Structure 1
Amino acid sequence: MAAKPVVFVIGASGTVGSATISALAGKYAETVEIRAGTRDPDKAPDSIKVPGVTIVQATMGEKEQLLDTFKGVDALFIVTPPVQKRALMVMKTAEAAKEAGVKFIMAVSTPPAADPNKAPLFGKEFHEIEVRLSKLGVQYCILRLPGFMENLWGYKATIASQSTFFGPLAPDTLLRTINNQDTGKAAAAILTDYSKHNGKTYGLYSDFYTSTDVAAAFSEALGKEVKYVQVTVEGIVERMRGRMEDWQLEGLKELMTLTKNDDPLLAEQADFDTLKSLTGEEPTTMKEFVKKIAPAFK
């Protein structure tokens, strides 16, 4: 019997990585060998400690170490880390994969990569990743991920205590997001049938909605009126100071400003058919997600 193709996810401990591992293990364990790469296997989350998954020590950007780690791997998913020099780390990882004989590399990017001057703190690094990966000489794919639907968890404290949540957008401004579990399913589908996705750049979106829609969804799910209050972008950034590094806050400020202005850079990339075409499933709606998490907001 021929050996199973080997699929490797590096950055498997994070939200996108663990969702991809879960999707791979749940649907493809019979057809591929699954390896989850994490910097410290002893601290790997339970979500990736599942049957059919081998947890491997792998530090992103450590090219010499990764040369051995990637031997025998067919498809690699690089979950781009939230660090300042992410392009350098991702490309050292990709170069190691190429030298080790990996046949396909997929990496996480973000919509501002399409026009990095509009949001340079995040856009330029991701743009560099996209350009350099496309020229590496290996089959590749880019996943551009917008904001996560899971960010709604950030409203938990004020919805529970004040029946109110705060944000920088006008109540009727559209927010386009991806559900993390949907991301994992799409990534798993690509990694296990990668030849048809070579050279593709996919923007993944689960749902679009306004802050008014979110308030209505929580009101229905919780059985009480939940209100949305608009505040300034600067006010949101200041509330988060101390929980994120300054460069991340400035990057977040750029992204929030693009969203607040409903910039065409974001609107024009929002194709809601792509996700379903990859997974064969209906994407998760915001209302479904709110209904699922609402008990924790009481």
Structure 2
Amino acid sequence: MHIILGGTGHIGKSLCKELLAQGEEILVITHNPDNITEIKATGADVAVTDVLDTNRLQGIIKRGKRLYLLNPPAAPYTDTAAEERKSLESILAALEGAGLERIVAQSTYGAQHGNAIGDLGVLYEMEEALKAMPVPVSIIRGAYYYSNWDASLDTARTEGEVYSFYPPDFKLPMADPADIGKFAAQLLTAEGMASNLTYFTGPQDYSPNDVAAAFAEALGKPVTVVQIPEDEWEESLIKVGFSEVAAQSMVNMTKITLEQKYEQPDAPQRGSTTITEYIKALVGVDATEAK
């Protein structure tokens, strides 16, 4: 049995679909009872718990032998790093003595030691803690998710504009979360694999200009990039609901990416889905749901 902690997001749904197609048994952990019906409809089993309930979480994890771990993202209106450290601490405690034979953990490009750098610091701490455990661990450092651009569909459609903290021509590693999910399924079902760390990105790096061009092609109208000046980053985040501390962390993470102050792999694992294919699917799904 595969235990999936983080099975309701873009990566998790792709992972579950892939495992179920292979005839694997999976159990999805969710904190939201409203997800039960949808999860069971896929053929997966489901368990509802708060990840902060360490004892119950451990009991659920013990029902399987292999675990996919995605530390739940905290709501942006909170102190996100503090909240994510709380959930991570509970998860790590639940793993002690759980009897797992393999863990596949979701991390990110740019994970590194540091303060006030949000996910980059929290996920690095996760990586280091998992490496110390007596069980093979596969860590996936995923590139910037294509799905981060989902929220741009509305402005692309209504204003013909995509807003970005990055310069229009700044290229960075990006990946389709569904491709990451498929890769995670490969790692979960692999036999005899030692601990490893893999960078995962798309078929090529993309810029905000590339994203705008993808929206333009999918929508059949011109779409341009509007760069938000650095001195407006924090204010713009707070306006859309970020707490001050979460906004500061996001600003610092953005600077690390922009200044490329992170380890960059020579030969990352690459998915096949292009940004154009992803945006076309996004626009198609949105149009279907609007009918």
Q: TM-score, normalised by structure 2?
A: 0.85
In 1: Cα distance, 2:265 partner to 2:94 partner:
31
4+ residue segments displaced more than 6 Å: none
Partner of residue 70 from structure 2, selected from 79, 88, 106: 79
Are residue 214 (structure 1) and residue 205 (structure 2) matched?
Answer: no
Task: Give the aligned partner of residue 78 of structure 2.
Answer: none
In 1: Cα distance, 2:196 partner to 2:25 partner:
24
Partner of residue 117 from structure 1, selected from 114, 117, 125: 114
Q: Secondary structure at the match of 1:243?
A: coil
Kept in 2, the 8 Å contact 1:109–1:145? The answer is yes
Q: Report the residue type matching 1:162 in the other structure.
A: E
Kept in 2, the 8 Å contact 1:94–1:105? The answer is no
Deviation at 1:284, TM superposition (A): 0.8
Kept in 1, the 8 Å contact 2:109–2:144? The answer is no
Task: Give the aligned partner of residue 279 of structure 1.
Answer: none
Are residue 265 (structure 1) and residue 247 (structure 2) matched?
Answer: no
Deviations 1:231-285 (A, max 9, x none): 2134344333242333332222122222333x1516x23744x145xxxxxx210
Question: Taking structure 1 as reference, are residues 51 and 287 closer, same or farther at Cα in structure 2, changes over 3 Å only?
Answer: closer
Larger RCO (CA under 8 A, 6+ residues apart): 2
Question: Taking structure 1 as reference, are residues 270 and 87 closer, same or farther at Cα in structure 2, changes over 3 Å only?
Answer: farther
Q: Secondary structure at the match of 2:26?
A: strand
In 2: Cα distance, 1:258 partner to 1:264 partner:
5
Deviation at 1:90, TM superposition (A): 2.6
Q: How does 1:99-248 map to 2 (within 5 A)?
A: 99-113=97-111, 115-117=112-114, 120-193=117-190, 195-196=192-193, 198-206=194-202, 207-241=204-238, 242-248=240-246
In 1: Cα distance, 2:245 partner to 2:95 partner:
29
In 1: Cα distance, 2:86 partner to 2:135 partner:
18
Are residue 13 (structure 1) and residue 35 (structure 2) matched?
Answer: no
In 2: Cα distance, 1:201 partner to 1:223 partner:
40
Could you tell me the percent identity over the aligned residues?
23
Deviation at 1:34, TM superposition (A): 0.8
Deviation at 1:229, TM superposition (A): 1.9
Deviation at 1:88, TM superposition (A): 4.3
Kept in 1, the 8 Å contact 2:200–2:270? The answer is yes
Partner of residue 35 from structure 1, selected from 27, 35, 39: 27
Are residue 56 (structure 1) and residue 47 (structure 2) matched?
Answer: yes
Q: Report the residue type matching 1:256 in the other structure.
A: T
Deviation at 1:293, TM superposition (A): 2.1
Deviations 1:96-140 (A, max 9, x none): 234121111222222222x32387333322221111111121221
Deviations 1:17-68 (A, max 9, x none): 233222222x32x2x211111123343473x333431011233242211232
Task: Give the aligned partner of residue 3 of structure 1.
Answer: none
Kept in 1, the 8 Å contact 2:19–2:26? The answer is yes
Q: TM-score, normalised by structure 1?
A: 0.83
Deviations 1:48-96 (A, max 9, x none): 3334310112332422112321224110111111133434423432342
In 1: Cα distance, 2:37 partner to 2:168 partner:
37
RMSD: 2.5
Question: Taking structure 1 as reference, are residues 90 and 106 closer, same or farther at Cα in structure 2, changes over 3 Å only?
Answer: farther
Unaligned runs of 5+ in 1: 1-5, 277-282
Question: Taking structure 1 as reference, are residues 128 and 264 closer, same or farther at Cα in structure 2, changes over 3 Å only?
Answer: closer
Question: Taking structure 1 as reference, are residues 81 and 51 closer, same or farther at Cα in structure 2, changes over 3 Å only?
Answer: closer
Kept in 2, the 8 Å contact 1:12–1:18? The answer is yes
In 1: Cα distance, 2:19 partner to 2:113 partner:
32
